Amino acid sequence: MHPCRQFLLVAAMIGLSVSTLVAAVLTDRAAKAYAEYADRARQSFLNRVNQPVGSGDGERASLRKEEVIVSPAGGDGIQTMPDSLIHHWRGAVFIRGVTLDQVVSVSRAYRDYPKIFPPVIAATVLSDESEALRVQFRMKQSAAGMTATLDMWSSIRYVKSDATHAHVLSSSDTIREVQNAGRATERYVAAGHESGYLWRGATFTRFVENDGGVYMEMETIGLSRAFPPLLGWVIEPIARRIGRASVEDSVQQFRRAVLMRFPAGR
- Cβ–Cβ under 8 Å, residues 85 and 250: no
**What is the structure's pLDDT at 169?**
97
Average the pLDDT over 212-222 and give the result: 94
Q: Which domains does the chain have, with CATH numbers?
A: 5-261 (3.30.530.20)
Give the amino acid at 13.
M
pLDDT of 20 > 50? The answer is no
Helix (H, G, I), strand (E, B) or coil at 174: strand
Candidates 229, 227, 249, 248; CA nearest to 237 is 227
**What is the structure's pLDDT at 45?**
97
- Confidence tier at 231 by pLDDT (50, 70, 90): low
| Cα R_g (the chain), whole angstroms | 18
Of 49-53, 102-106, 241-245, the range with the lowest mean pLDDT is: 241-245
**What is the structure's pLDDT at 125?**
96
pLDDT of 82 > 70? The answer is yes
**What is the structure's pLDDT at 259?**
96
Average the pLDDT over 197-212 and give the result: 93
**What is the structure's pLDDT at 246?**
78
CA–CA distance, 18 with 55 (Å, rounded to integer) = 37
The predicted model scores a pTM of 0.89
CA–CA distance, 10 with 219 (Å, rounded to integer) = 17
pLDDT of 14 > 50? The answer is no
- Cβ–Cβ under 8 Å, residues 248 and 91: yes
